[in-house]
Structure 1
Amino acid sequence: MPSNPRWARRPEGSTWGDFGPDDELGRLNLITPDKVRAAVAEVKEGRTFCLSLPLDRPGGNVLNPRRVPPVLTPTGTAEAPRFNATLCAEDASLVDVVSDDKVEICLQYSTQWDSFAHVGALFDVSGDGRPEPVYYNGFRAGADIVGPRDAEARGIASGAHRLGIHNAAVHGVQGRGVLVDLLSLFGRERHLVGYDDLMRAMDAQAVTVEEGDILCLYTGFTQVVMEMNGTPDGTILGKSCAALDGRDTRLLQWISDSRISALVADNYAVEHLPAKRLAATTQAAMPLHHHCLFRLGVPLGELWWLADLAADLRAAGRSRFLLTAPPLRLPGAVGSPVTPIATV
């Protein structure tokens, strides 16, 4: 087992330390130059597909009460908003008219990436029987991922000082995407997809996944969202479309063994929530997030728009494409909106 000054023991089956003692990229390390070249070789026609929802969708806050739509406003003051404004009103010789704006946005409201600072766990990293709040590769809550109270007490800025989403932006998220169409098998009713279901879908569609690939699951969920025109019905959405069963241990083991670099879905959370409770006294409420973000270092993408790409790939008898999906290079952020582009 790799040694690390931050931890004496790591979660069973985790990748902590496998990419170095201070690694913050997880399995994005598997997207090597050779893997990028292989992804580029999947481009046959040069056509592109935008895989993002409009960032003001779903609309409302029924999917997550803490996340609300972005608020877009001009810069400047209420009395002098910088919109359709002359560049210099005092100089009549200048003809420029300018607009300039700003946005207040929940970074994980719409099409997004989750960083490893998004979900951690209470875990006994020291081996002394005392669980501590830690994140991927043993980075500590309060020291490396710093909330406002800790920041005020220590006189430092709050945010993800380690494991922030900006690490993925610097590395670049560009590789081979592989799409599995779950909608065609399971329809628009909620269906918990376990290992057997996923293998059946992949076999039926002749989908193969290799190390470093970015697996994209098309369920149809964001189509249901868009049909609601900005006023989503939480009851309907909670019963709509396929979602991974995070309690299926064989499915989690397959994610480990497949060595995919990232996992994406067009639904909320990728996994079905709330996950069913186990008899055990301690467990993760979001088992797939726990497995991917905390243990493996596999970023999760949520609420992507995959419908147009899925239709094109299906018509062409394909499942692979070049995927370019960098998050914002926003230091300290635990998640990011993203406008992914698929090239076929």
Structure 2
Amino acid sequence: MSEALKTAQNRLWAVAQTLTGGYVGSSHQFPKFDDLPKVDGEPQGSLWGFFDKDGKKDEVGMINILVPAVVQAASHEIQSGEHVQLDWPLHNVQFPGFSRKEFSQTKIDLDKVLNFKSMDDELYINTQSGSQWDSLKHFAHQATAKYYNGLTHEEATRSDTNGIHNWCERGGIVGRGVLVDWLSWYEKHKGQPPSAISRHEITVEDLEATLKWQGTTTRPGDIMIIRSGYVRWHNNASAAERKKGTQEQGTAIGLAGTEKSVRWLYDRHFAAVVGDTVAFEAWPPKFDEGWCLHEWLLTQWGTPIGEMWDLEKLSQMCADKGRWTFFLTSAPLHVKGGIGSPPGAIAIF
């Protein structure tokens, strides 16, 4: 990206900050992590109640900060009009883990029933078995059995509260995407990367080194996307290797679940986070240490987690253009009370 273009974008960002009272993304002024009001039964750092309005409990979470000024500022990432879809094909996970059913499609010849040449199809998908968003009722704080903003597990099983429809009714997820191409950075500076189906923890230091190498700066309200190599591994693996890696073992690469990671993520106020791996964080988490990222992102802050996104073409386009930021749109399936959804995500340059 030229220096002139960077300067112009920074000016637009400054204008957006002015329009939103000094904090791009919303009129909300986030307290420091240690200054957040204590929520009974939850660890220090919970945002429950922060986005509540007029006595109504919030069900949207950090997507609240994607206000029009932020989206308008993000739109200036569009320069060439080139675009990449980030959904893996629905059939791609050949052997879904966690006892989930695989994708199936039935093609229907309507000529046999309606006497005209036409086709329908019927699909079965488990929304956690491929590229996905986790909604705010997907994962509870395991110690308290509560989801975002205090929804109990029992309430979650019988209500639509915190469902993914809330994001749809707000207009989907639209903002500035930032690719943190950890895999390319690692291969450039350290050589052969760790196995994608090992429990390798990507550290905050690694993320910061990658951002520095790319010349990329994150902003509040960004949708931060980490490329770790899981999709690339799956694309190149044999059927036997896929089955062993996805069904016969339960480990996967991802961001380290540590206090440092939690505080780093909080301080950057991302609207959402995404990875190309099974669970965004290194899996399985160490629940006993208290830093499971699913519990912090989904449960304590209401931050959507994207998993198993296909970042291969995106990585190449970013490298070709020498910039790792872009306009991002995502239209989840509009399902009342939905727990997960393919992202319907497109990066536009």
TM-score normalised over the length of structure 2:
0.79
Aligned mate of 2:151, from 139, 148, 161 = 139
Alpha carbons 1:87, 1:98 under 8 Å: kept:
no
Offset, 1:104: 1.8
CA drift of 1:44 comes to: 0.3
Deviations 1:121-175 (A, max 9, x none): 255xxxxxxxx421111112212x11xxxxxxxxxxx4x5101111112221011
Alpha-carbon distance in 2 for matches of 1:239, 1:333? 25
1:139 maps to amino acid? L
Q: Does the 8 Å CA contact 1:218/1:265 hold for their aligned counterparts?
A: yes
Counterparts of 2:337 and 2:214, CA distance in 1: 40
Match in the other structure for 1:195 = 204
Larger Rg: 1
Give CA-to-partner distance per residue, 1:255-289, whole Å, 9 cap, x none. Answer: 011000000011110111123475x6xx47xx010
Q: What are the equivalent positions in structure 2 for 1:5-16 lying under 5 Å apart?
A: 10-16=42-48
TM-fit CA distance, 1:235: 4.6
Give the Å deviation of 1:229. Answer: 6.1
Structure 1: 5+ residue stretches without partners:
75-81, 90-95, 124-131, 147-157
Residues 44 and 230 from structure 1, CA distance in 2 versus in 1: closer, same or farther, beyond 3 angstroms?
farther
Q: Percent identity?
A: 30
User: Is the aligned partner of 1:72 residue 2:82?
Assistant: no
Q: How does 1:12-51 map to 2 (within 5 A)?
A: 12-20=44-52, 21-51=56-86
- 101 and 46 in structure 1: CA distance in 2 versus 1, 3 angstrom threshold: same
CA distance in 1, matches of 2:222, 2:339: 23
Within 1, Cα distance between the matches of 2:36 and 2:58?
12
Q: What TM-score do the two structures reach when normalised by structure 1?
A: 0.80
User: Is the 2:61–2:303 Cα contact (8 Å) retained in structure 1?
Assistant: yes
- CA RMSD of superposed structures (Å): 2.6
Q: Which amino acid aligns with 1:219?
A: S
Equivalenced residues, count: 300
CA distance in 1, matches of 2:223, 2:245: 29
Indicate if the aligned counterparts of 2:250 and 2:284 stay in contact, CA closer than 8 A.
Answer: no
8 A Cα contact 2:251 2:283, kept in partner: no
Q: 1:231 to 1:167 in 2, by over 3 A?
A: farther
Distance 1:239 1:316 in 2: 36
Give the Å deviation of 1:99: 1.2
The 1-side partners of 2:36 and 2:284 are apart by: 34
Q: 2:319 aligns with which of 314, 317, 325?
A: 314
Aligned to 1:342, the other structure's residue is in SS state strand
SS of match in other structure, 2:233? helix
Query: In 1, Cα distance between the equivalents of 2:244 and 2:102?
Result: 19
Q: CA deviation at 1:54?
A: 0.7
Q: Does 1:252 align with 2:262?
A: yes
Please name the residue that 2:130 is paired with: 110
> Contact (CA 8 Å) 1:270, 1:300: kept in 2 or not?
yes
Matched, 1:183 2:183: yes
- Gaps spanning 5+ residues in structure 2: where? 1-34, 188-192
Q: Which has the higher helix share?
A: 2
Q: How far 1:55 sits from its partner (Å)?
A: 0.4
Deviations 1:200-224 (A, max 9, x none): 1111212111111100111221111
Alignment CA distance shift 1:231-1:339 (3 Å): farther
What is the rounded CA distance, in whole Å, between the counterparts of 2:180 and 2:37 in structure 1?
Answer: 37
Written as runs of structure 1 = structure 2, the 5 A alignment for 1:247-326 is 248-276=258-286, 278=288, 283=290, 287-326=292-331
Within 2, Cα distance between the matches of 1:113 and 1:225? Answer: 19
**1:215 aligned onto 2:224:** yes
In the superposition, relative to structure 1, how do residues 271 and 222 fare at CA in structure 2: closer, same or farther (>3 Å)? same
TM-aligned CA distance change 1:35 to 1:230, over 3 Å: farther
Aligned to 1:79: none
